[in-house]
Amino acid sequence: MALLGRLHGAPARPLNPQHPKMPTPPAAPAAAAARYNRFLLLVAGLGGLLYGVDVGIIAGALPYLEATSGLNAGQLSFIVAAVLLGSVVSTLFAGALADAVGRKRLMIASGVLFVASIPVIALSNGYAYLVMGRLLQGVSAGLIGVVVPLYLAECLGASSRGKGTGIFQWLLTLGIVVAAVIGMYFSFRVAEVARLGDAARLLAFKDTAWRSIFWVSLPPGILFVAGSFVVTESPRWLHRKGRVGEARAALLRSRSQADADVEMEEMGRAAAAEAAHGTGGKPRESLMSRKYVIPFVLACVILACNQATGVNSIIGYNTNIFLQAGLSDVEAHWGYVVLTLVNFLLTIVGVVLVDRRGRKFLLSAGTAGIILSLVAVGLIFRSTERLRVDCREAVQAAVLPDQRLSLPFDAAASSRLLASAGDAGRAIAGRPSTLIVIYSYGDFRAATSVVRSDDPSSAPVSVSRDGCVPSNRVVAFFSNPFADLAAARTAPLRIENALVTPVPSERNGWLTALFTFSFMAFFAAGPGVCVWLALSELMPTRIRSNGMSIALLVNQAVSTGIAATFLPTVGRYGYSTLFFAFAGCTVVYFVTAAFFLPETKGKTLEEIEELFGRG
């Protein structure tokens, strides 16, 4: 209706310069445009919330699923990993799908997949349905991770694009917090039922609890789908499809007439330049030209380095890190809660600053702070890890004939292990210590939880094949693509490291926690917000969707590589070496951000594209 020339005798509207026969739709009043922009940010933010829920929801549900489902460790591990599998597959095709069907339709589809996954999981009565539901969640997450930042970059004005993409990241971290809070709420409910002393009732409530955790995550998905129906399609996608009038109408919902005219002119100029290379017998502009290669390489380097800071491993192994640093079990778990809150709150700071100070400043300052924090944590760990002792031969001797291990670890057990290690062991004997066992069956490695000799509630160190060897080839591929699964199912248990380390002082633990919180703060306010912008802003229009998919795959490949090498590195060289390695990778990140990344604050996507074209 907005494109009709006259309504009830209204004066004729000016003609659209792109389509002279089509009247230009009226610009939305400033207040209406502001409301629409807020609504657009809300819808896109809900996409980030769903992404975070996808990642975090299983943590709270898993203990109750494990207690009531009758599934073995391999099956449970695949249910957890199925989100990664679905995400990798959908990320690979998300860019092509976004180009084929449009950003808006793909947002709707990703939301529908998330909504559909909830009843599949919550009403499931077997392993296959659980896997199917988690795969759907993973596919949804992969699509959201590509299409929502892409949509925001193409729809928001230059002055608010940073804030909009930052809100996506902020609500992503909120989604993880929400998932943790939901899990915590049901843990309190389970504890109340447990006090009644009725085992059958407790088992029934645990079954209800994990299903309810998934049901509670359904409303944000429904809201995201509903909101995606209301927002406009990306004006740049419409323009590339030749629907110029619709592109102008989409811009005018969120822009003034003058701003829309400027952006339409820039889009037209970019389209004409591209068309000039594909007509008149001239070859189409090469994708290997600097206009495409430089921003693509920059985006891939930034996304690879973003993972190479070690952020996922530091979050995933945070409790173990704090335990090894000298905190008690309760203190370590509280430390993890503080870490997630720092991530959430400092993301807000990044959102506020990204359009004021710029992407280059936040990335440079953030990576500099990350380097200092990582080096500090590495030095603290180095002070105690130089005293640690590897007692693998004594632990290997305790392996049972069925290739399992059950080893209580208290003060007496610590003394026995240290006595077997000679002078190095005797040097730290008599002090509280920690034990972590790195082990393997064939090509697959795993590690036990950290136990302390001064913790009377610690369970024995327990090792079994189910906790290490994947249950099927799909999980095996993502654990170690070069492993021999058949051989691992019959391979003997090999103790690679049994590391006994003196427990550092509590002061040492809190110093480690403080610098880890500092790491998280610098990451959240800098790379955590800006990485999505780098992904969507740097890519030229012609390669944006597919380039984003490839860059995200690079990101996931680095994340998987770090996950595969984390435990062996800790086992052989300690946490200090790993933190120093992360700091070294972040130096590359800092140099890229400070010296090679152009500032894109306040520039339209077409201006950024022209910047790379000019060199």
- Residue 245 lies in domain: 238-271
Residue 483, in any domain of the structure: yes
Q: Name which of 440, 450, 424 is nearest 484 in CA terms.
A: 440
- Burial of 443-457, coded b for 16+ CB within 10 Å and e otherwise, reads bbbbbbebbbbebee
End-to-end CA distance of the chain: 43
Residue 486, in any domain of the structure: yes
- Is residue 172 scored above 60 in pLDDT? yes
CB 154 within 8 A of CB 237: yes
- Is residue 144 scored above 70 in pLDDT? yes
Residue 438, in any domain of the structure: yes
Helix (H), strand (E), coil (C) string for 221-236? HHHHHHHHHHCCCCHH
Task: Tell me how far apart the alpha carbons of residues 474 and 78 are, in angstroms, rounded to a whole number.
Answer: 9
Q: Between vectors from CA 356 to CA 355 and to CA 359, what angle results, nearest 5°?
A: 55
Answer yes or no: pTM beyond 0.85: no
Phi and psi of 124, rounded to 5°?
-70, 150
Residue 478, in any domain of the structure: yes
Reading the block at residue 535, the tokens are 């992904």
- Is residue 1 scored above 50 in pLDDT? no
- Mean pLDDT is lowest, of 2-11, 74-83, 328-337, 378-387, for 2-11
Reading the block at residue 61, the tokens are 């549900």
Q: At which of 249, 271, 293 does a domain end?
A: 271
pLDDT reported for residue 567:
66
Q: What is the per-residue pLDDT across 268-319, written as a single tens digit (0 to 9) for each?
A: 877 776 666 554 444 455 556 666 778 888 888 888 888 899 887 887 677 7
Q: At which of 457, 477, 506 does a domain end?
A: 506
Q: How far is it between the farthest Cα atoms of the chain?
A: 99
Q: What is the per-residue pLDDT across 354-397, written as a single tens digit (0 to 9) for each?
A: 778 878 888 899 999 999 999 999 999 988 888 888 898 999 99
Task: Tell me how far apart the alpha carbons of residues 150 and 102 are, in angstroms, rounded to a whole number.
Answer: 11
What are 499's strand-pairing partners? 390, 436
Mean pLDDT, range 91-119, rounded to an integer: 89
Alpha-helical regions (H) of 231-256: 235-240, 244-252
Residue 290, in any domain of the structure: no
For the beta carbon of residue 29, count every other beta carbon within 10 angstroms.
10
* Higher local confidence (pLDDT), 175 or 136: 136
Q: What is the per-residue pLDDT across 488-536, written as a single tens digit (0 to 9) for each?
A: 999 999 998 888 888 888 888 899 999 999 999 999 988 888 877 776 6
Q: How confident is the model at residue 22 (pLDDT cuts 50, 70, 90)?
A: very low
Residue 458, in any domain of the structure: yes
Query: 3-state DSSP call for residue 288?
Result: coil
The count of structural domains within the chain is 2
Top mean-pLDDT range of 121-125, 427-431, 541-545: 121-125
* DSSP E strands, 347-492: 389-390, 405-407, 433-441, 444-447, 451-452, 461-463
User: Percent of the chain having pLDDT more than 70?
Assistant: 85
Q: Between vectors from CA 271 to CA 265 and to CA 272, what angle results, nearest 5°?
A: 90
The residue written with tokens 């896997």 in the block is: 131
Reading the block at residue 4, the tokens are 């009709």
Q: At which of 506, 536, 568 does a domain end?
A: 506
Q: How confident is the model at residue 5 (pLDDT cuts 50, 70, 90)?
A: very low
Reading the block at residue 136, the tokens are 């759907």
Residue 26, in any domain of the structure: no
Query: 3-state DSSP call for residue 410?
Result: coil
Top mean-pLDDT range of 77-81, 221-225, 353-357: 221-225
Mean pLDDT, range 48-65, rounded to an integer: 76
Q: How far is CA 591 from CA 194, 570, 608, in A?
A: 55, 27, 20
pLDDT reported for residue 118:
92
Task: Tell me how far apart the alpha carbons of residues 50 and 147 are, in angstroms, rounded to a whole number.
Answer: 13
Task: Tell me how far apart the alpha carbons of residues 50 and 218 are, in angstroms, rounded to a whole number.
Answer: 9
CB 105 within 8 A of CB 501: no
The residue written with tokens 């359009």 in the block is: 355
Query: 3-state DSSP call for residue 446?
Result: strand
Amino acid found at 300: C
Task: Tell me how far apart the alpha carbons of residues 12 and 138 are, in angstroms, rounded to a whole number.
Answer: 50
Q: What is the per-residue pLDDT across 398-450, written as a single tens digit (0 to 9) for each?
A: 999 999 999 998 888 888 888 888 888 888 888 888 888 889 999 888 878 77
Give the chain's mean pLDDT: 80
Q: DSSP assignment, residue 15? A: B
Task: Tell me how far apart the alpha carbons of residues 74 and 67 are, in angstroms, rounded to a whole number.
Answer: 14
pLDDT reported for residue 237:
86
Residue 465, in any domain of the structure: yes
Residues 6+ apart with CB under 8 A from 394: 416, 417, 420, 421, 498
Task: Tell me how far apart the alpha carbons of residues 163 and 259 are, in angstroms, rounded to a whole number.
Answer: 18
Mean pLDDT, range 338-356, rounded to an integer: 84
With both helix axes pointing from N to C terminus, report the angle between 103-122 and 30-69 in degrees, rounded to the nearest 10: 30
- Burial of 356-379, coded b for 16+ CB within 10 Å and e otherwise, reads eebbbbbbbbbbbbbbebbbbbbe
Q: Name which of 49, 47, 168 is nearest 109 in CA terms.
A: 47
- Is residue 97 scored above 70 in pLDDT? yes
